[in-house]
Structure 1
C-alpha cells in the first residue's frame, strides 16, 4: 500500500469517527451514567467507547430508572442500551411512544414523556419522532426489549424512541426475536443471579443509510450478556454460553457475509436476516474493527463468581 493510499484510508476512518462521535452535550441528561451504574456489571459501563458525541441517558419513568442508553443526537438513535434482565410478569403493554424532554431542553423534566399530536417542532429537532418511522419500511426495534423487563412500568419504559433503532421486520420478528427468547430461556434455566445485557448497533462501514434523512439505519444489531453466577451442573451443550456470550444480527439482506453468513435454507421472509452467535471476545473484536477503537463491554470480561 502506498503512503498516499494509507493516508487516505486513515483520513477516511477518522472522518467516519468524527461523523459518529461529535460534541458531547451536557445537561441533567448527564455526561455519564453515574445515576444508573447498577445496570452495568460491577457498576462499570463499557470501556474504551469514545463517548464524544453520545449522550448517556439514565432512562427514567414514573420516578425510577429503568435502564440506560447511550444516545447520539445527530443520528437520532442509540448506540446501545444496557439493562438487567428480569422475565416479564405480564404481557407486552400497549404503551404510548415517548421522548426524552431533556434532549429538547437540558433543564426540562428528567422523566420520559408521551409524544403530543402534532409533534412539537423542538422535539422534532432534538430526536427521533414517531413520524420518522411512518411508511419507512422499518419497524421500531427495541434495544432494551419490553419482555426482558419484569413490571408493567419497566416494560412501558422501553417504548421511548431513545431506545429504538430502525429494524427490518424480517429481523425484528424473525431471527432477532428468537435470539431474545433464547437469552431469556438461558437466564431462566441456568443463571442463578443477575444477567447484565448490553444490546447495540453497528453503523454501515462507509456511507450511512437514513430514513427520511433523519434517523440512522444500522447495518447490524449486536447483543451480549454477562451472568457471573450460574448453575454448576450446566449441560455440556450450554457450557460455552456462560458466563458470557454474544451475537450479531443482520439488518440488511444485501450486506456481505464476512460478519454474519446467510443461511439460504430458511424461509424467504427471514432470509438474509441471520443471527450469528459467538463468544464475547469475538464480538468485541468485530466492534473494535467497525468502530476503529478497542472495546470492553463488561468489566474484567465478566468473571465467574465462585
Structure 2
C-alpha cells in the first residue's frame, strides 16, 4: 500500500474583485491501493488578503490523514481512548465507515489534533486535542479544504463558498479554537473546514468565545500535572440540527468537555459546557455526567451510555476555581483590593489595552473638549458605533445647551442620522448627567452616539437615565459629602447584516426599508422630470413680442 497521496498547488495568479478569486491551477498525483477507508487526506487552501487587489503566486504542500481508526493520532485522546458515542463511535471503531471519517489533522509534517467528520451533514462530530499552553495572536490564515480520498470534487464536505455571503448570520465556528494552540503553525492548522461548523454569529463571537476564554483560564490554573507541566485533554463537538446553510448542516447545539490531573489537589477534574447554537445564548457550565446524558439524548444511544472521557475523569465536579489576579489600588490613605478576572486576547479590552488582533477595529478615545478630558469611549469602527462610554457622575450641571451641534471625529456622519423618522442619535454618556455646560456640550460627539429607536430614546430610556441620576444624587456621596459615581453605558451591535442606518451605521431597524422612503424617492423623481420638461419647453419656445406685464 502506498503511504502518501500528495496534493501540490503549483501556481495561482489573478485579480480579486468583489471578493472573487480568479485563476487557479492545481496539480495532484497519487496512487492508492487496498483499503478504501485508509490513506491520506490532502488539504490546501490559498492565502487571500482581504484588501489586496493584486494576485499571488503560491506553492504549498499539505498532507492530512483520513484513516480507518485513530491509532495514528491516538495521543490526542486521554489514555488513548476515544469518546464512546455508541451510534457513531464505539470502542474506537466507527460504526458507519461510509458516512463518518476519522481524520488525523496534520500540518507542516506534525499531527495537531483529531477529528471525526460527518460526510452526510458536512460538519465534524467532534475534534479532540491537547491543551499545553497557548501563544497569543491570531494568524492571517485562510480556511483550508480537505478533498476526500474517494473524490476530489468536494461533494462530501463543506467549502468556503458555503459560508460566504450567507444571509443567516452564520460564522465558520472552530471546534478546536485557534486561541488554544501552542504555536503559530498549530494555530494555522485549526483553520480547516473539517474543524468548523456554521455557528450563529453572536453566539460564536460573544458567549461561546467568552466560554472558551473561561475554560482556558481554568486549564491554566488547575491542569498542572505531576511533572509540573500544563496538560489537559479536550473534546469539542456539534450536534446536527434540522436546518442547512447551503449544503452544510447547522448544528442545533455545541458542546465541549475537558479533563486533567491537578497535582495540587492530587485529583482529576472534569467539566463540560452545553449551549444551543442560537444568538445571544450563554452556554451553561455543567458536570461531565450531565453533558454525557445530553449527548445520549441527542444521539439516541439509550440504553447505551455516552462516555467522552475514561473513568478516571470525575462525573460530578461542579465548581472549579479560576485564576484571578489581585490588584492593589490606593485611594487617599486607604488601601483596598479588588479581584479582576484575567482575560485572554480573545476580548475587546484586556486590562486597559485593546489586543493586537482587534486594534484596527476598536479605538479607545479620550474625549477632550476645551482642553479638558470629559469622558472615555471605546469605539467600534466596523459598526461605526461606540462599544461603551465611561464617565464620572458628580451632579447635574443644569439644562441642555442650546444649540448643541453634533461633532464628528470622523466615523459616523451627521448625514447618517438625517431623514430618519425611526431612530434618534442616542447618547451613551447622557447630556443630563454632565456637571457643567462644557461637559454637556462634550457629549454631543457622534462617537458617543448610537442609533436608538425614537420612542425608546425619548421614552423608557430617558426615564431610566433620570431615575439613575436621582439615585446617584441620593446615594453616591463620599466622605466629603460630594456626589461621586462611576458609570459605563454601552451598546451591543445587531447581528443582522441588514440592520444598518444608511448602509453604514449599525442600528435596530433599517429606515431605508420603510415604504415611506421609497414613496418619497418616487415623488422626488417625478418632480425632477416635471422640472426638466418645463425647462426644455421654455428654452425652446420663441416669443417675438413678450408682454411687459399682465393685468
Give the structure-2-normalised TM-score.
0.41
Secondary structure of 1:98 counterpart = coil
| Structure 2 residue corresponding to 1:30, chosen from 49, 64, 67 | 67
* 1:124 shift after superposition: 3.0
What do the CA deviations read for 1:176-203 (whole angstroms, capped 9, x no partner)? 1111101110111121132100000112
Contact 2:236 2:256 (8 Å CA) reproduced = yes
For residues 171-250 of structure 1, what are the structure 2 equivalents within 5 Å?
A: 171-193=203-225, 194-204=231-241, 208-212=242-246, 214-232=247-265, 243-250=269-276
What stretches of structure 2 of length at least 5 have no aligned partner? 1-35, 40-65, 89-93, 226-230, 316-551
The equivalent residue for 2:106 is 60
CA distance in 1, matches of 2:215, 2:136: 18
Larger RCO of the pair (alpha carbons < 8 Å, separation 6+): 1
Name whichever structure is richer in strand by fraction.
2
**Partner SS, residue 72 of structure 2:** coil
SS at match of 1:300: coil
Query: What is the alpha-carbon distance in structure 2 between the residues aligned to residue 94 and residue 41 of structure 1?
Result: 31
Give the deviation of 1:126 after TM superposition: 2.8
Change in 2 beyond 3 A, CA 1:219/1:48: closer
Contact 1:230 1:243 in 2 (8 A): no
* Contact 2:170-2:199 within 8 A present in 1 as well: yes
> Are the aligned partners of 1:104 and 1:123 in contact in 2 as well (CA < 8 Å)?
no
CA shift for structure 1 position 251: 0.7
Give runs of aligned pairs for residues 25-174 of structure 1, distance below 5 A.
26-28=37-39, 29-49=66-86, 50=88, 51=94, 52=96, 53-101=99-147, 103-105=148-150, 122-136=152-166, 137-174=169-206
CA shift at 1:88, angstroms?
2.2
Q: In 1, are the aligned partners of 2:117 and 2:123 still within 8 Å (CA)?
A: yes
Q: What are the equivalent positions in structure 2 for 1:261-276 lying under 5 Å apart?
A: 270=280, 273-276=281-284
Q: 1:99 to 1:83 in 2, by over 3 A?
A: same
Distance (Å, rounded) in 1 between the aligned partners of 2:171 and 2:177: 13
**Superposition deviation, residue 48 in structure 1:** 3.7
Deviation at 1:249, TM superposition (A): 1.4
- Which structure shows the bigger proportion of residues in helix conformation? 1
Secondary structure at 1:139's aligned position in 2?
strand
Q: What SS does structure 2 have at the residue aligned with 1:243?
A: strand
Deviation at 1:90, TM superposition (A): 3.4
Instruction: Choose 1 or 2 for highest CA Rg.
Output: 2
- How far off its partner does 1:232 sit? 1.9
Q: Hey, what does 1:18 align to over in structure 2?
A: none
In structure 1, runs of 5+ residues without a counterpart are 1-24, 107-121, 234-238, 254-269
Query: Contact (CA 8 Å) 1:191, 1:231: kept in 2 or not?
Result: no
Q: Deviation per CA, 1:259-295, whole angstroms, max 9, x where unpaired?
A: xxxxxxxxxxx2xx12111000000001001101121
Equivalents in 2 of 1:283, 1:230: separation in Å? 25
Distance 2:73 2:310 in 1: 16
